[in-house]
């Protein structure tokens, strides 16, 4: 039995979910030949109670324990602070598993060298536990990309679904906040920035390994006219916040914006709070993936799934080696609201 020393950064909703799965799946890890030892969980306040079934989880406020671990799991969120914690670990040859789309999107220059070596795992950074990173970095690489369309923010999907039921925007937003889908300051979600972070991560896997976050055009659902949702339904359409990657003028473009979808579009059928992605490839055709894209449990499952991949000898997802060529025929994107 090989000892695997794990250190975790952050212990909010996702972090406690990770701890629960690690405890419940201990026998599975042992079957793989590993005895998991949790060396520490870095938190701001170690006295704050956390509801987890993991026995005696070592909550600490100092980062020194990270020097003694083999794998670092980062579920803190944010950009610069988590980067300052995981970068030394990567430089020391350790494995890092993260669900942090903002850090990946905005600090790619520092992280890319380690993504190229397979040290960095980040399936849960986009669509949580629904697998989209693995297909885009694996089997779909053999197909010439044409475009990608995706619902990448479950909070916006929930709000728009409630508006379709007759609720106004503010009422639907408050409901999302009360349910824990949206933060007290919902700007990252409703402004489209969370979706833009995730879209940037996807772009680097199948379209352009160096696609810059700053080049994503962003418009959120907070710009939609109040009556637009009802008018769309009257015309057998739905409004959804869509992240799109497409070719224009021989260059790959990325945009997040509210779009009008026909009712028979696969993304239009995604249920409230769920995420969905359609990848269009020359050889593979249309590939559709949908599932839970938000919430502590589903995100935690993606994080632990990355850990299992590592233990089975599977390297982390690597960015596409070269920028993909753009198709000669323009792709007709969905109309904006």
Percentage of residues in the chain with pLDDT exceeding 90?
82
CA end-to-end span of the chain: 57
What pLDDT, on the 0 to 100 scale, is given for residue 331? Answer: 87
Q: What pLDDT, in 10s, does the model give residues 167-179? A: 999 999 999 888 8
Task: State whether 42 and 149 are in the same domain.
Answer: no
List the domain range (segments joined by +) for residue 113: 2-128+296-311
Active site residue 116: no
Q: How confident is the model at residue 190 (pLDDT cuts 50, 70, 90)?
A: very high
How many C-beta atoms surround the C-beta of residue 38 within 10 A?
Answer: 21
Task: State whether 111 and 137 are in the same domain.
Answer: no
Q: How confident is the model at residue 271 (pLDDT cuts 50, 70, 90)?
A: low
Q: Which residues contact 262 (CB under 8 A, 6 or more apart)?
A: 236, 237, 268
Q: What is the mean pLDDT of residues 210-229?
A: 95
What pLDDT, on the 0 to 100 scale, is given for residue 181? Answer: 79
Whether pLDDT at 269 is above 90 = no
Q: How confident is the model at residue 51 (pLDDT cuts 50, 70, 90)?
A: confident
Q: For the domain that residue 164 is a member of, what is the CATH number?
A: 3.30.360.10
Known binding residue 12? Answer is yes
Pick the most confident of 154-163, 279-288, 291-300.
279-288
Q: How confident is the prediction for the chain on average, in pLDDT?
A: 93
**DSSP reduced 3-state for 161:** helix
Within-domain flag for 325: no
Q: Chain-centre distance of CA 306, in angstroms?
A: 13
Task: State whether 288 and 144 are in the same domain.
Answer: yes
Known binding residue 284? Answer is no
Among candidate residues 48, 167, 198, 231, the one labeled active-site is 198
Within-domain flag for 327: no
Task: State whether 152 and 248 are in the same domain.
Answer: yes
What pLDDT, on the 0 to 100 scale, is given for residue 150? Answer: 96
Instruction: Report the alpha-carbon angle 68-111-58, nearest 5.
Output: 30
What pLDDT, on the 0 to 100 scale, is given for residue 204? Answer: 98
Q: How confident is the model at residue 200 (pLDDT cuts 50, 70, 90)?
A: very high
Known binding residue 183? Answer is yes
Whether pLDDT at 295 is above 90 = no
Q: What pLDDT, in 10s, does the model give residues 109-153? A: 999 999 999 999 999 999 988 899 999 999 999 999 999 999 999
What pLDDT, on the 0 to 100 scale, is given for residue 329? Answer: 85
Q: What is the mean pLDDT of residues 14-25?
A: 94
- Looking at per-residue pLDDT, the higher value among 130 and 18 belongs to 18
Q: What is the mean pLDDT of residues 299-319?
A: 96
* φ and ψ at residue 301, rounded to 5 degrees: -65, -35
Task: State whether 95 and 175 are in the same domain.
Answer: no
Task: State whether 157 and 83 are in the same domain.
Answer: no
Q: How confident is the model at residue 288 (pLDDT cuts 50, 70, 90)?
A: very high
Task: State whether 231 and 280 are in the same domain.
Answer: yes
Q: What pLDDT, in 10s, does the model give residues 222-234? A: 989 889 999 999 9
Known binding residue 248? Answer is no
Under a CB-based contact definition with an 8 Å cutoff, are residues 242 and 259 in contact?
Answer: yes
Known binding residue 48? Answer is no
Q: What is the mean pLDDT of residues 213-228?
A: 94
Task: State whether 139 and 288 are in the same domain.
Answer: yes
Task: State whether 90 and 11 are in the same domain.
Answer: yes
Read off the tokens for 22: 């690690």
Number of domains comprising the chain = 2
What pLDDT, on the 0 to 100 scale, is given for residue 330? Answer: 81
Strand partners, 274: 292
Whether pLDDT at 273 is above 80 = no
Q: What pLDDT, in 10s, does the model give residues 59-99? A: 999 999 999 999 999 999 999 999 999 999 999 999 999 99
Q: How confident is the model at residue 272 (pLDDT cuts 50, 70, 90)?
A: low
Within-domain flag for 266: yes
Task: State whether 87 and 208 are in the same domain.
Answer: no
What pLDDT, on the 0 to 100 scale, is given for residue 24? Answer: 93
What's the Cα-to-Cα distance from 233 to each of 66, 90, 155, 227, 239, rounded to whole Å?
52, 49, 20, 10, 9
- Classify 182 in phi/psi space as left (phi over 0), alpha (psi -120 to 50) or beta: beta
């Amino acid at each position: 039995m090989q000892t695997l020393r794990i250190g975790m950064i952050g212990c909010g909703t996702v972090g406690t979910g990770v701890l629960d799965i690690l405890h419940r799946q201990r026998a599975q890890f042992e079957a793989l030949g590993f005895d998991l030892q949790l060396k520490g969980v870095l938190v701001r306040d170690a006295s704050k109670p956390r509801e987890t079934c993991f026995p005696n989880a070592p909550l600490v406020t100092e980062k020194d324990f990270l020097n003694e671990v083999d794998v670092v799991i980062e579920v803190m969120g944010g950009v610069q602070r988590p980067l300052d914690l995981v970068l030394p670990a990567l430089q020391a040859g350790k494995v890092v598993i993260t669900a942090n789309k903002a850090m990946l999107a905005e600090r790619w220059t520092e992280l890319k060298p380690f993504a190229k070596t397979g040290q960095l795992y980040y399936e849960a950074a986009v669509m949580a536990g629904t697998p989209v990173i693995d297909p885009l970095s694996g089997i779909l690489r053999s197909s010439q990309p044409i475009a990608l369309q995706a619902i990448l923010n479950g909070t916006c999907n929930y709000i728009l679904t409630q508006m379709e039921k007759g609720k106004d925007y503010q009422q639907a937003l408050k409901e999302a906040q009360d349910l824990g889908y949206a933060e007290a300051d919902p700007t990252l979600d409703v402004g489209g920035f969370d979706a833009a972070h995730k879209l940037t991560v996807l772009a680097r896997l199948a379209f352009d390994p160096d696609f810059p976050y700053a080049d994503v055009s962003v418009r959120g659902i907070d710009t939609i006219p109040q009556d637009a949702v009802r008018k769309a339904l009257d015309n057998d359409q739905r409004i959804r916040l869509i992240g799109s990657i497409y070719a224009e003028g021989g260059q790959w473009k990325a945009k997040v914006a509210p779009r009008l979808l026909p009712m028979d579009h696969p993304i239009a059928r995604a249920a409230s709070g769920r995420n969905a992605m359609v990848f269009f490839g020359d050889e593979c055709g249309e590939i559709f993936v949908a599932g839970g894209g938000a919430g502590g449990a589903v995100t935690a499952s993606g994080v632990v799934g990355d850990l299992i991949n590592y233990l089975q000898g599977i390297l982390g997802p690597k960015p596409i080696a070269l920028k993909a060529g753009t198709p000669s025929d323009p792709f007709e994107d969905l109309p904006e609201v």
